[in-house]
Amino acid sequence: MKNITVEKWGCLELAFPGRQDGNPFTDHTIRGCFRGEHETVTADGFYDGGGIYRIRFMPGFTGTYRYEIGGTFGAPQSGSFEVTEAKAGNHGPVRVTDNWYFSYADGTPYYPIGTTCYVWELQTDERIRQTLASLEKARFNKIRFCIFPKHYDYNLGEPRSYPFEGTPMDSSVLTRENFSRYTGKTEGNHFDFTRPNPAHFRHIEQCILALQKLGIEADLIMMHPYDRWGFSSMPREADELYWRYAMARFAAFRNVWWAAANEYDLMAAKTEADWEFYGQLMTENDPYGHPRSIHNCFRFYDHTRPWITHCSIQRQDLYRTAEYTDEWRGRFGKPVVLDEIAYEGDIQHGWGNLTGEEMVRRFWEGALRGGYPGHGETFLHPEDILWWSHGGELHGESWKRAGFLLDVLKGVPGNGLRRAEKTDADWDCLHAIPAQAASAAESGYHLYYYSFMRPAFREFDLPENETWRIEILDTWDMTITETKTAGGHIKVNLGGKPYMAVRMTRTG
């Protein structure tokens, strides 16, 4: 057998032919133990169809590892492999650090600025290529999408494949007017929930890896209510099989995140006990501790539950949205990821017709409060190809500005921002300082944001005996203008435009 090598935080995959009697998905097991000098990991494998069982492993250290594979699938297997240093651009999986922040396993801070394309990966090859090209152009570093297909307004078509063997209902009866009558129904579908469809998952893996190449985290939405096939109301045993199967396949990819659900509170068939059960599955079956969340429609899940690593938030108020970020940070004590603060677009639904300006304003309101904004786009399209669900091309204005914010965040000393302690002078602006600063006065770095307001100027009092770099950030035009280096009382001209920010850095 040739020498096996894998890079640190890469994915080792071993494949073995095995038993095909009975139902290999439910009747046989494959489990491996991977031992290196610094870690021992056990992980489940999975049946990939065609008589092949596979098992995957993501090493966290370099050096020689041994593996031992057992289970009922066939004869035990063992061997060794070498883990080499991570290649450039591979920073490892993302972790929560310092309560409210993220970093990659190699310590590099990570600032999620994500987007949402619910079922981009279930579209045609051509559309998927287009989406990946759009993502390469944009600067998003996280994308939320579903494992199950989506049934909703503008989402009446069939997916390229189904997660289980079987046949779907006849969707030719669907119209924009009647589609909601089929939501959550199961009639006409014939899926065998004991037989996952390997081709469906294999394809999703290719998409996860394509994202990995672009440096994008894949925030996998495991369940969601927008369903006409019955996947949202499977019995507990089917759910468990699905979860275990998906985790066995996906967990060893370093850029995977688990989102238990999109809009969990709209899934009438599921109870809190169900969500806690999935939470347990996630913590027990992912040996790598990928980020775990659960996303609301109206009512937040209790984000203090220990299996939840970060808050995946849909804004609860139509008007005051990202502005609650600092309150949520305090309430839940975890990173606040604003996975839906409404989308830029022009469709009829109130969550999908923001201007680009308002979307970018929400980015900044969220980010400067120490949260992480998410993007989405819902423009009417002659063929109903909306980025929010299908990917494709980006048509709006806000996506162009995600990278500017990301660069500002990367320039913050430490690993993120938090809102400064409030002062009388700050009542009408958003004042952020580095997360680790003991206080605003000691921080040596200030970021002020003026949102929809448009002051012609602002005044500041800096210590007299210090020098500071003062930069004016136009968050819409994406320009940075350095104005002066001075302490004492200063007046900064902002031009009476909205969406301006001031960045101040102590230089001496």
Residue 425: DSSP 8-state: G
Task: Kindly state the helix (H) or strand (E) to which residue 356 belongs, with its residue range.
Answer: helix 356-368
Alpha carbon dihedral 388, 389, 394, 397, in 10-degree steps, equals -10
Cβ within 8 Å of residue 256, ≥6 positions away: 93, 208, 217, 218, 220, 250, 290
Which range in 109-117, 263-271, 349-357, 431-439 contacts its own copies by CB under 8 A? 349-357
The helix/strand/coil state of 127 is helix
Nearest approach, Cβ of 289 to its own copies (angstroms)?
36
350 binds its own copies (CB under 8 A): yes
**Binders of its own copies among 166-205, rule CB under 8 A?**
177
Site residues (CB under 8 A) for its own copies, limited to 228-287: none
Among 77, 161, 353, 467, indicate the residue that binds its own copies (CB under 8 A): 353
Q: Which residues contact 321 (CB under 8 A, 6 or more apart)?
A: 315, 338, 341, 342, 362, 365
318 binds its own copies (CB under 8 A): yes
CB of 461 to its own copies, least distance (A): 11
Name the minimum Å distance from CB 457 to its own copies: 6
- CA pair distance 221, 65, nearest whole angstrom: 32
Site membership for its own copies, residue 453 (CB under 8 A) = yes
d(CA 130, CA 397): 18
Query: Six-digit token pair at 310?
Result: 């970060």
Cβ atoms 8, 83 nearer than 8 A: yes
Nearer to its own copies among residue 89 and residue 350 (C-beta): 350
Does position 424 interact with its own copies (CB under 8 A)? The reply is: no
Q: How far is the CB of 320 from its own copies (least distance, A)?
A: 4
Window of 226-234, 366-374, 401-409, 450-458 that interacts with its own copies by CB under 8 A: 450-458
Comparison of 65 and 328: residue with beta carbon closer to its own copies: 328
Among 302, 428, 477, 482, binds its own copies (CB under 8 A): 428
Residues in the chain: 508
* Least distance to its own copies, CB of residue 154, Å: 12
Q: What is the DSSP string of 298-343?
A: SSPP-TTSTT--SEEEE-SSSSS-GGGHHHHHHHH-S-EEEEES--
Count of residues of this chain found to bind its own copies when the rule CB under 8 A is applied: 31
Cβ neighbours of 368 (radius 10 Å)? 28
The verdict on 346 binding its own copies (CB under 8 A) reads: yes
Select 75 or 456, whichever has its Cβ closest to its own copies: 456
454 forms part of the interface with its own copies (CB under 8 A):
yes
Answer for which of 23, 167, 280, 348 binds its own copies (CB under 8 A) is 348
Residue 358 contacts its own copies per CB under 8 A: yes
Q: Which residues contact 272 (CB under 8 A, 6 or more apart)?
A: none
Q: Which one of 354, 408, 433, 504 is in contact with its own copies (CB under 8 A)?
A: 354
Instruction: Quote the crossing angle between the two packed helices 236-250 and 198-213, to the nearest 10°.
Output: 40
Place of tokens 């068939």: 269
The residue to which tokens 């688990």 are assigned: 258
Interface segment toward its own copies; rule CB under 8 A; list 23-31, 197-205, 228-236, 425-433: 425-433
Nearer to its own copies, 299 or 427 (CB): 427
**Binding span for its own copies by CB under 8 A among 30-38, 79-87, 126-134, 311-319:** 311-319
Does residue 455 bind its own copies (CB under 8 A)? yes
Question: Is residue 323 close enough to count as binding its own copies by CB under 8 A?
Answer: yes
Nearer to its own copies, 197 or 353 (CB): 353
Degrees (nearest 5) of the Cα angle 111, 115, 117? 150
The answer for residues whose C-beta is within 8 angstroms of residue 173's C-beta and 6 or more apart is: none
Chain residues that interact with its own copies, rule: CB under 8 A? 177, 317-320, 323, 346-351, 353-355, 358, 380, 427-429, 452-459, 489, 496, 498
